[in-house]
Amino acid sequence: MATKKNDTKGADATADTKNLNKGAQPANLKTQNLSPHTADATGEFMTTNTGLRINDDQNSLKAGERGATLLEDFMLREKITHFDHERIPERVVHARGSGAHGVFKVYESLAPLTKALFLNNTSAETPVFVRFSTVAGSKGSTDLARDVRGFAVRFYTKEGNFDLVGNNMPVFFIQDAIKFPDLIHAVKPEPDNEIPQAASAHDTFWDFISLTPESAHMIMWAMSDRAIPRSYRMMEGFGVHTFRFVNAEGKSSFVKFHWKPLLGVHAVAWDEAQNISGKDPDFHRRDLWDAIDSGAFPEWELGVQVVPEEDEFKFEFDLLDPTKLIPEELVPVQRVGKMTLNRNPDNFFAETEQVAFHLGHIVPGIDFSNDPLLQGRLFSYTDTQLTRLGGPNFQEIPINRPVVPVHNNQRDGFMRQTINKGKTSYSPNALGQNDPRQAKASEGGFTTYPERISAGKIRARSKSFFDHFSQARLFFNSQSDPEKNHIVDALSFELGKVKTVTVRERMLFLLANIDKGLASAVAYALGVHIPAQLDNELNQNIPADANSSDYESVQVESSLLRSEALSMANTVKDSIQTRKIAILAADGVNEQSLTAVKAAIEEAGGVIEVIAPRLGFITSAGNEQIQVDESLLGAASVLFDAVYIPGGINSVAALEADADAVHFLNEAFKHCKPIAADEQALQVIEATYFSKKIEGDEGVVIGKNEKQLAKLFVAAIKKHRFWEREKARKIPA
């Protein structure tokens, strides 16, 4: 429609709008090369979706600096609501997952700490459903991405569902939930080209991290071997946040939740993880399913760190800060019960995909702290399920139903399953005898812990949250030398994929605050110098009118130099249960050599697969038929924990001449795995690149006596890996 010459109202409105943005270009100049509805934020102020300018996008609105987050915070709710609904239908985060059913049983009553019945009744088994997941990738991505792993447990208790929704790392990247959309937007594939998938090694992620010093501790965990676990069954779980226990007398204690795997905490090598992603992207999913299917049920012990309320401020860090952990040397982990996963889902979609966890699913005796990340998650989870599962009745999906009856006045909505009888759906009512009625605390009714709050409404963060480097330093110093080397390699790999040099430099500056030796090693690999200072770039996230000096990182030296629990080198190494061992063999194999070692490994709980040049059967030297599980064409060393070569002149000769067999061994050695060979098979070892390196290597076992060889081989498999094979590098602690 043509504009009338005397119609100046629109022009005046445009002029008024331009005056709001000092120095902004006229709208017609800024958008002349853009398609309709395209937004360019260059030089503009941040606003809400109603156009309201935002002063502080980094802190949620709280009752005091350490107080609860307020429902009034419309900016937090708008930002997270939009984020929660950005992916349809798969989860925005934790899209790639695997689940299993099981049971939990408490060892001793925890009545002095909590009135939660499932933690008090030692004779009862509480049904559970667990979902493990990666965070960043889509539903179709690989299991072996370098990533945080979700570890969510639902307890179907007699008081309702309790969901412990955590990760395999005890801390997180950010301190306030209002920053979560920014973190995930940064780590997801870049929006212009949707690259890379399930990977943090790109510019936008490290740009965000380099400007967010509070992420320093979590980055140490994410760049460590914890981010590439050997199996879901061999990783720890953590509640991340500080929660509360409340006992029958109303006394409150702070609590951190831990899951300790009975198989120990083990990882794969980074090169191995990348190879597994190509060979079997379902590696973790298949591993969990096969273990349960074979009766090798995964087990974890539930641990708690309990801090009396009066000791809340006795630490060098803030209990409400989700980027901090409580070192086990300061507060030991009490192991209070055991979880066993003993049944695979009947239908992946109906159970694993439709399960809807929520931190707000709690029972009497468990309550929240004012951790600002936790407070935001309490809103976000229900909001997300409304879109992902089609409406407010997602709790009626079978996997989400509690084992106790549900009665309330909620009605109708998409996919309603319950057929509610009666005339009344409101309270109070007289027509229906006021049913369902409220339950008193003595009748099991939930009552919120009456924490005293007396503070002004404020968007700010407590200064007790400003120490960003002491626990990152503690974590790095606690690692073994191989683990430190792996962190250097991971950072060098990730930052090496970053194209923007200034982002690399900012990260090196942050790393230097953790450990100068670490920063120097990464800088050398990147060919970049560590900057001496950064002209206040790290203070980009402060409120627009705040004093930057009020938001500077606080340098704290931890009184604890190392924590044994933080190094995977100190994990359990006393079992080969469910470990997969490959036996390389061909026609003419010595059946006695093969069966003796096979029997010893299976007796110890290991799983054997015979790998040969072809499928079907091979014929032993004694003319016996031995079934082949995989061919060398379809198998790969990265899918096994160890490898054995039995004797037999013809078998040994065939393997020595087979390039795939030699590569299988070379790769196993490179990834520091146990290798065993009958003395007659030594010539196969001599065909590898590592034949001159095996002297003194406890992980390479060669022998003539099958029983003795099997005993030494089993002992080697228990140790998981022999990382000393890697090139020695000194990283100053």
Tokens read off for 199? 């990977």
> Which of 509, 488, 483 shows the shortest CA–CA distance to 720?
483
User: Cβ distance 342 to 292 under 8 Å?
Assistant: yes
CA 245 – CA 366 distance, rounded (Å): 5
Say which residues have a Cβ less than 8 Å from residue 484's Cβ, sequence separation at least 6: 476, 518, 731, 733
Say which residues have a Cβ less than 8 Å from residue 172's Cβ, sequence separation at least 6: 218, 240, 322, 323, 373
> Which of 725, 720, 589 shows the shortest CA–CA distance to 649?
589
Phi, psi values for residue 133, rounded to 5°: -160, 160
82 classed as catalytic: no
User: Cβ distance 382 to 393 under 8 Å?
Assistant: no
Query: Taking CA 221 as the corner, what is the angle to CA 496 and CA 290, rounded to the nearest 5 degrees?
Result: 100
CA 60 – CA 380 distance, rounded (Å): 13
CA 55 – CA 117 distance, rounded (Å): 46
Q: Give bridge partners of residue 643 from the DSSP assignment.
A: 582, 675
Locus of tokens 């009118």: 545
CA 106 – CA 127 distance, rounded (Å): 12
529 classed as catalytic: no
Tokens read off for 552? 């500077």
> Which of 638, 632, 631 shows the shortest CA–CA distance to 274?
638
**Burial category of 196 from C-beta neighbours within 10 Å (exposed 0-12, middle 13-18, buried 19 and up):** middle
Element (H, E) at 64: none
Tokens read off for 503? 């982002």
Phi, psi values for residue 485, rounded to 5°: -60, -40
User: Cβ distance 710 to 601 under 8 Å?
Assistant: yes
Other CB atoms within 10 Å distance of the CB of residue 219 = 25
Q: In this structure, are strands 607-612 and 630-631 parallel, antiparallel, or unpaired?
A: parallel
Cis upstream peptide for 181 (omega within 30°): no
- Residue in 59, 94, 202, 258 annotated catalytic: 94
- Residue in 59, 120, 161, 167 annotated catalytic: 167
CA 726 – CA 723 distance, rounded (Å): 6
Tokens read off for 327? 């070192």
Other CB atoms within 10 Å distance of the CB of residue 146 = 23
Tokens read off for 684? 């196969």
User: Cβ distance 118 to 155 under 8 Å?
Assistant: yes
The residue type at 470: S
Q: Where are the beta strands (DSSP E) in 585-725?
A: 607-612, 616-619, 625-628, 630-631, 642-645, 675-678, 700-703
Q: Where are the beta strands (DSSP E) in 558-606?
A: 580-584
Say which residues have a Cβ less than 8 Å from residue 714's Cβ, sequence separation at least 6: 576, 600, 601, 604, 606
Q: Give bridge partners of residue 261 from the DSSP assignment.
A: 300
The residue type at 606: G
Catalytic residue annotation:
94, 167
